Structure 1
Amino acid sequence: MPESVEQWWARRQWSKGEAVPYPVGRYRSDWERYPVLIRQYHPDLNHGITLTQVPPAADVYLVWECDSGHRFVATPGEQRARPAGTRRRSVWCPQCAEAAAPRPVRAPESEPEPDAGMHRCGHARDPRRIEADPDDDRCYLCRRLDSEALTREQLVTMAAPGSRVAVSAENGTTGKYSWQCDAGHPSFQASIEHILGGRRCPICRHARAGADRVPVGEAFVSRWAPAPASAAEPELKRRLAARLDVDLGKNAVRVAKPFHTHLEVWPDILIPELKVAIEYDTTGRHGLEHVGPRETSDRRKDRLLRAVGWEVVRVRAGKLQPIGPYDVAAGSVTEALVDRILARLGEIRGELFVAAYRR
């Protein structure tokens, strides 16, 4: 159970038998990767305790103040995990995030039409679609179930384990349900209408557009790969191309297990001849990149690459700490950085093997 910073500090003083249980700077390296949180934390709001005296995993309520002046209470774990999947600076503050994406206001429900309601089969009535075929008294969904490639039994079979029966009357045809493909990929959410209309597992759909054409562990050119996030990545690729006679045109690697909704990953730079991926990591403009949940995603991507025979070299810029055995720290893209990367390649694949590709 989280406690106030005063109670937490007093308890640590008693348990350690010291007036200062955690000296200033003790956890500096753990907080350096979160520049936004460093700005939001003020010792005068937290009993005079500095952020470098607070363990990142401490179960304590701290007071934070964002750049807009909003004050709020959150534990270190809650604040470090706050960015989630968004890229706005406001996500570090719950009040700014609420203002940036206000909840939609629902309009008052209109009076139902005389013929609105439920069919005898239990599905929601849609008068406009029924009028398209007045001689058939079955509801629209029942007609689709009988005419589409999927039968009612097949539709129910696709329901993910633990979910309720796919054909349910509670939400009609618009409710979303959990589905599972034959390949056993993680379940996905979709309405019955989308399933009947041909929308299936997103992992399978994306794989058919690229990853299914190559064997596991092979590099290829993917249409799904995002554009470079900064100018540093193309510059690093240019400098490596001037030093190594390798093909740097691939942008994806086929992996054995899904990474989010794809069977491929997209490192910044790929060297297929050496089976080494190079990533250039910074905290980004708003201090959101490669920290918190995104660092967890980076670690998972690295594990998937290593599982198919690749190794990863991450260039960790700024205050980002290494997360892999071959990571290097750097402030900018220079020839000295390229030399360090080439040395890492020699450690991974052997100096003689890498020398064969030097220009």
Structure 2
Amino acid sequence: MAEASGDERLTWLWECSEAHVFVRRPTEIEKGYACPRCWVRRQHDSRVSQRAKSGGVFRLDRARQRSKEELRLAAELAQVFPVDLDHDAVRIRGYVMDQPFVTPDILITDLQVAVEWDGGGHRKDPGLDQNKDEALRQSGWRVIRAKVDTGDHGADVVAAPTGLNLTVVGEIMSRLLEADSTKSEAVAQWKAQRRWHGSAVYESLLRLWGETTIGASSFRRR
């Protein structure tokens, strides 16, 4: 421990080598009970390290919540790009919210690109999203983020002020062409037809994740 203070008869305030502050009695420290955050991290590390190395993908034991817009976007991108529907987590270097992995909305593992959909009900915590994106980048991944409410028009941010529509999907596909230009003709054909193509995949994803799917589904045709 780096530091401790307080009456020996009471609990003490401790600070571990990772600058986590916690409360323990001196007798508990002597018995080996140390920083609870570090303990949680070690437990997560032990489980995740058996499944993926840094930058690698794996499937969570418990399905996480997904929005219908996210599933629709995944189904549509899968018409052109090799969307990974078998995995939902990426092992990272370091931690985000004390976990050694993050769960991007859509994985295109062959290109090491993660696509994030920030819909109207997305959490209002840009700091957490930034930490997640940075952790992915440090692990060798590129992040493309589509946002309903955004003033950010950076190279990897797609504005979607009216929600998910064909224009937004087409713009994401254009960004993905930077990672795989061999799909340019397929993307051009997809855009030329001006309609949703992935309905069958979307319906199968709804059946697969039906119990954890949230949010209303509404898509513009243009």
1:205 and 1:275 map into 2 onto residues whose CA distance is 27
- Paired AA for residue 187 in structure 1: H
Match of residue 327 from structure 1: 157
1:295 to 118, 126, 144: 126
Match of residue 58 from structure 2: 220
Normalising by structure 2, what TM-score? 0.67
Q: Deviations over 1:74-110 (max 9, x none)?
A: xxxxxxxxxxxxxxxxxxxxxxxxxxxxxxxxxxxxx
Normalising by structure 1, what TM-score? 0.44
Match of residue 208 from structure 2: none
Which structure has the highest strand share of the two?
Answer: 2
Match of residue 267 from structure 1: 104
Contact 1:255 1:263 in 2 (8 A): yes
* SS of residue in 2 equivalent to 1:243: coil
Bigger-Rg structure (1/2) = 1
Match of residue 252 from structure 1: 89
2:22 and 2:133 map into 1 onto residues whose CA distance is 27
1:191 and 1:323 map into 2 onto residues whose CA distance is 47
Instruction: Compute the displacement of 1:251 (Å).
Output: 1.1
Instruction: Compute the displacement of 1:246 (Å).
Output: 3.7
The runs of at least 4 consecutive aligned structure 1 residues that moved more than 6 Å come to 356-359
2:65 and 2:186 map into 1 onto residues whose CA distance is 27
1:168 and 1:212 map into 2 onto residues whose CA distance is 41
1:1-359 paired onto structure 2 within 5 Å: 159=1, 161-164=2-5, 168-171=8-11, 177-180=14-17, 185=18, 187=20, 189=22, 191=24, 196=32, 201-211=39-49, 213-223=51-61, 226-228=64-66, 230-284=67-121, 289-291=122-124, 294-317=125-148, 319-322=149-152, 324-330=154-160, 331-347=162-178, 349-352=179-182, 354=183
Q: Which runs of 5+ in 2 are unaligned?
A: 191-222
- Paired AA for residue 78 in structure 2: A
Instruction: Compute the displacement of 1:295 (Å).
Output: 0.5
Q: Deviations over 1:26-78 (max 9, x none)?
A: xxxxxxxxxxxxxxxxxxxxxxxxxxxxxxxxxxxxxxxxxxxxxxxxxxxxx
2:23 and 2:80 map into 1 onto residues whose CA distance is 49
The verdict on how the C-alpha distance between 1:186 and 1:220 changes in structure 2, with shifts beyond 3 A counting, is farther
1:243 and 1:332 map into 2 onto residues whose CA distance is 21
Q: Which runs of 5+ in 1 are unaligned?
A: 1-158
- Paired AA for residue 240 in structure 1: L
Match of residue 218 from structure 2: none
* SS of residue in 2 equivalent to 1:305: helix
The verdict on how the C-alpha distance between 1:217 and 1:351 changes in structure 2, with shifts beyond 3 A counting, is same
CA RMSD, 1 decimal: 3.3
- Higher RCO (Cα < 8 Å, 6 or more apart): 2
* SS of residue in 1 equivalent to 2:170: helix
1:214 and 1:271 map into 2 onto residues whose CA distance is 16
Instruction: Compute the displacement of 1:168 (Å).
Output: 3.5
2:155 and 2:69 map into 1 onto residues whose CA distance is 22
2:140 and 2:52 map into 1 onto residues whose CA distance is 15
The verdict on how the C-alpha distance between 1:187 and 1:245 changes in structure 2, with shifts beyond 3 A counting, is same
Instruction: Compute the displacement of 1:178 (Å).
Output: 3.7
- Paired AA for residue 300 in structure 1: N
- Paired AA for residue 202 in structure 1: V
Percent identity of equivalent pairs: 26
1:282 and 1:324 map into 2 onto residues whose CA distance is 18
1:309 and 1:282 map into 2 onto residues whose CA distance is 25
- Paired AA for residue 41 in structure 2: I
The verdict on how the C-alpha distance between 1:206 and 1:356 changes in structure 2, with shifts beyond 3 A counting, is farther
